[in-house]
Amino acid sequence: MSTTTTPPPRTARTQLPSREDLPPAYPRVGVGAPTAEERFVRIGSWAAGFALAWILTQRVLPLGGLPWLIVAGFVCGLLVTAVTTAMTGSRVDVADRLMASIITGGAVVVLLALATTITFTFLEGWRPLVHLNFYYDDMAGVGPRDPLNKGGIGHAILGSLIELGIAIAITLPLGVGTAVFMVEIGGRFARLVRTIVEAMTALPSIVAGLFIYVTIIVGLGIPPSGLAASLAISVMMLPIIARAADVVLRVVPGGLREASLALGASRWKTVWHVVLPTARPGLATALILGVARGVGETSPVLLTSGAASFYVWNPSDGVMNSLPLYIFFAVRSGEPLLIVRGFGAASVLLAVVLILFVTARLLARPRSNRSRSLRRTRVRPDHKSVETP
Amino acid sequence: MTTLPQLDPLLPEDTPRRLASANTGSDWVFAQVSRTIGASVLLITGSIGAFLAWQSVPTFKRYGVSFLTEQQWQPEADVLGIAAVLVGTLQIATLAILIAFPLALATALYISEYAPDGLKPTLVSLVDLMAAVPSIVYGLVGVYLLMEHGGPEFALWLHQHLGWLPFFDVPTSDPSAAIWDQTRYIKSAFIASIAVAAMVLPMACAVMRQVFSQTPQGEKEAALALGSTKWGMVRTVVLPFGRGGIIGGTMLGLGRALGETIAVLLIVSPAFEIKWSITEVGTNTVSALIAGRFGEASASQLSALLTAGFVLFMITLVVNSFAAVVVNRSRSGAGTDA
């Protein structure tokens, strides 16, 4: 209001706008959470889809049973979602909504498969698990028809741990060392190593077992032993771990390396203090994937270790059992009680894998007291710089 | 007017400082140690491939090309061939990948793009855990769950309704019989491939998820800021960026599926014939053949088994090399520096 020259009119009192005078608010575009209507359309579409599927499969078509209801429900749900979205939105919205549903559905199927696998194994194998002797006893002198409170799989657990321990002790330094060589040193020779290592990840585990069987057991005449088995596992795991570590180290940002080198650190210090810590979660995942294959892989062990029914502490001393091998022979025997024992051992194997897995995850997790340690390392040089001049 | 500074003629001429590129001290040790490790790994792994190739020579000399075209494996009649087991291997692996690929892709996308933030770490752990489940457990589930509940019934349904396709036809059984012959529908390549699919799925998914998670955040936000829907963003940014990871992960899974032994050995009943039908009882794979026959094998048969293993290794090698080429060509392997 320009009121500099003209005399103020009589109504020149400042009017504060009241809420009633404002134009009606525009509906705000939701950027985050769906509105109530959208949520109703989403949930309602799926309810309608499953209702339609129930009528189709259970009443109209001869496709009774829960599995068909779920399959048809998913398809009908997609159709109804497409129709309801098309009523308000464009083709782009329909595609967005449909793909979100399909992707979520795929993830749910995968999780259900995992849940089914684990639940089924524990349900079939819980009976021997309630007997304590199952964990520490061995199968020496236990017949296939003996009740479950006799005998156990202690020897197989021990064998698995020894074999895997040796295999990790061999493959982890070699694998990570090779990866460091391929990434940090480089050159023509490193490219050759990378090519061969990548090629050898294609080696099927059974061929790794057969290789050790032919060279060490048949060729050198050394009887089957835990050591041979762990060598077979190592042969199988080494390229896997080396390659996975290589991939992980390669994605460490080059800027971090250059910053460290520019600050005057040597290459070794750069690797040890910058590259490896940055890649630690990835390295742990690489190790997990390698160990997961190593502990559960039956085929190399099947060819190389033989199956003892008693405790063996020395890996170089004759036959040795391990969990996968025990499961394999127990299930293959066809004796109902042995099959139950096999499922029990499978549950234990799953539990061992789970424990290893959680441990590796905890190790891989960035330290929770990171902020504190950072502060400490920051403070210390300050003190020095204050005191030394 | 610009004047050039007068150079003092007495001072020596400026020469660029030489940058030290040679390693000194601990760096030299570091380089040599890691080079030694690399060389030893090269020696170990390379010698296996060389050994397999060297062991295959006598077999190929004796049986020639018929080793690849003969279906029977009868050491007592001196007839050895891997045609049937090779086809069986390829059937099971292909089917397993057909099942696993869409599920792995969907799961990887869900975890990286759709899942609520609080749920992501749990889901990542669950998929890694699924990769950690031993293959023999999947074999047990295949034998005692799939084969006893649902698997044969589904195979029968496929035969009844899609029997005109050679894959689902079971020639030795009548689909409309009053009491159907369940024994013709069990221990088949179909059930084995479901178990193998469950095994390779998390591997493929882990690779895909890793690559998806490296998609530049700025490009994703740019797509969203331009008004793209979430799927539009996934289709135009995440999937093209992760194409290498998708193909590479799938190929890695295929390589694993080709070599899978125990689950297949537990599930299928061995049969040495090439057949179209995947739901009919009986098939065999190279690895199951090795696991089943190594014990009673003589020296020459061991050599034949090694040759079979070598052929399998060559196939997986081709698959994996293809995957490596694809991954290296794509942007995904380019690192995270912008």
Q: What is the location of CATH 1.10.3720.10 in chain A?
A: 154-365
What was the pLDDT predicted at A378? 43
A318 within 8 A of A308, measured Cβ to Cβ = yes
For the residues of B252-316, what is the DSSP string, one character each? HHHHHHHH--HHHHHHPPB-----S-SSSB-B--HHHHHHHHSTT--HHHHHHHHHHHHHHHHHH
Q: Which residue has the higher pLDDT, B53 or A21?
A: B53
Q: Which residue has the higher pLDDT, A376 or A331?
A: A331
Q: pLDDT above 70 covers what percent of chain A?
A: 86
Contacts of A192 in chain B (CB under 8 A): 42
DSSP H helices, A16-90, are 36-54, 66-88
Chain B residues touching residue A218 (CB < 8 angstroms): 299, 302
B55-330 CATH fold: MetI-like fold (1.10.3720)
The sign of the CA dihedral B8, B12, B16, B17 is negative
Sorted by sequence, the CB contacts under 8 Å of residue B80 that are 6+ apart come out as: B59, B63, B67, B70, B72, B73, B74, B301, B304
Q: Average pLDDT for residues A129-144, to the nearest whole number?
A: 76
Angle between helices B26-63 and B299-329 (to 10 degrees): 130
Both tokens assigned to A320: 């040795």
Axis crossing angle, helix A226-250 with helix A154-180, rounded to the nearest 10: 40
φ and ψ of B188, to 5 deg: -105, 170
Does the pLDDT at position A100 exceed 80? yes
Bridge partners for B283 per DSSP: B270
Start-to-end Cα distance in chain B: 44
Q: Which runs of consecutive H residues, i.e. helices, occur in A181-272?
A: 188-200, 205-212, 226-250, 254-262, 267-270
Q: How far apart are CA B256 and CA B248, in angstroms?
A: 12
At residue B109, the pLDDT reads: 92
Which residues of B fall within a CB distance of 8 Å from A241? Answer: none
**pLDDT reading at A389 higher than 50:** no
What does the pLDDT read at residue B34?
86
Nearest by CB to A251, from B31, B123, B335: name it.
B335
Interval A146-162: pLDDT, tens: 777 777 788 888 888 88
- Does residue A216 sit at the B interface (CB-CB below 8 Å)? no
A189 CB neighbours in chain B (<8 A) are: 35, 38-39
Query: Inter-chain contact B259–A206, Cβ cutoff 8 Å?
Result: yes
Q: What is the pLDDT of residue A369?
A: 45
- Nearest chain A CA: its distance from B77 CA (Å): 23
Least reliable range by pLDDT among A132-141, A176-185, B123-132, B286-295 = A132-141
What percent of chain A lies above the pLDDT cut of 90?
4
User: Which chain A residue's Cα is nearest to B141?
Assistant: A117
Subunit contact A267:B123, Cβ cutoff 8 A: no
Segment-wise mean pLDDT, segments of 10 residues, chain B, 338 residues: 72 74 74 87 84 84 79 76 84 90 93 88 86 85 83 78 74 71 77 88 86 86 89 90 84 84 83 76 81 78 84 86 73 43
8 A C-beta contact, residue B124 and residue B209: yes
Contacts of B133 (CB under 8 A, 6+ apart): A114, A117, A118, A292, A296, A350, A353, B199
Query: CATH classification of A154-365, choosing from 3.40.50.1100, 1.10.3720.10, 1.10.760.10, 3.30.360.10?
Result: 1.10.3720.10
What ipTM does this complex have? 0.81
Distance from CA of B229 to the nearest CA of A (A): 6
Best residue in A112, A207, A258, A350 for a mutation probing chain B (most B CBs within 10 Å):
A207
Question: With a CB-CB cutoff of 8 Å, which residues 5-64 of chain A face chain B?
Answer: none
**What pLDDT does residue A388 have?**
37
pLDDT digits 0-9 by tens, A267-301: 888 888 998 888 887 788 777 767 777 777 888 88
**Least Cα separation, residue B313 to chain A (angstroms):** 5
CB contact under 8 A, B141 and A121: yes
Taking CB atoms and an 8 Å limit, are B52 and A207 in contact across chains?
yes
Q: Alpha carbon B40 to chain centroid distance? A: 26
- φ, ψ (nearest 5 deg) of residue B73: -125, 85
- Closest CA–CA distance from residue A264 to any residue of chain B (Å): 13
Query: Which one of B23, B27, B34 would you mutate to disrupt binding with A, by most A Cβ within 10 Å of its Cβ?
Result: B34
Is B140 in contact with A327 (Cβ distance < 8 A)? yes
CB-facing half-sphere around the CA of B77: CA atoms within 13 A: 7
Is residue A377's pLDDT more than 70? no
CA distance A364 to chain B (A): 12
SS3 A326: helix
Task: Count CB neighbours of A89 within 10 A.
Answer: 16
pLDDT of the residue at B42: 85
A310-359 pLDDT per residue, tens: 777 777 777 878 888 888 888 888 788 888 888 888 898 888 888 877 77
Q: Which two tokens stand for residue A155?
A: 């020897």
CB proximity list for A174: less than 8 A, separation 6 or greater: A238, A242, B37, B40, B41
The better pLDDT of the pair A367, B157 is held by B157
In terms of CA atoms, which chain B residue is nearest residue A249? Answer: B335
Please tell me if residue A288 touches chain B, with a CB cutoff of 8 Å: yes
- Whether A111 contacts chain B with CB within 8 A: yes
Q: Can you give the pLDDT at residue A384?
A: 41
Contacts of A349 in chain B (CB under 8 A): 134, 136-137
Average pLDDT across chain A, whole number: 79
Q: Is it the case that residue A6 has pLDDT exceeding 70?
A: no
Q: Which of A171, A181, A340, A349 to mutate to test the interface with B (most CBs of B within 10 A)?
A: A181
A346 touches chain B (CB under 8 A): yes
What pLDDT band is residue A1 in, cutting at 50, 70 and 90? very low
Contacts of B6 (CB under 8 A, 6+ apart): none
* Domain residue extents for chain B: 55-330
The verdict on A239 touching B (C-beta cutoff 8 Å) is yes
Of A185, A201, A324, the CB nearest to B134: A324
The pair of structure tokens assigned to A92 is 């782009």
Cα gap B140→B154, rounded to integer Å: 19
Query: What letter represents residue B13's amino acid?
Result: E
Question: According to the model, what pLDDT value does residue A379 have?
Answer: 41
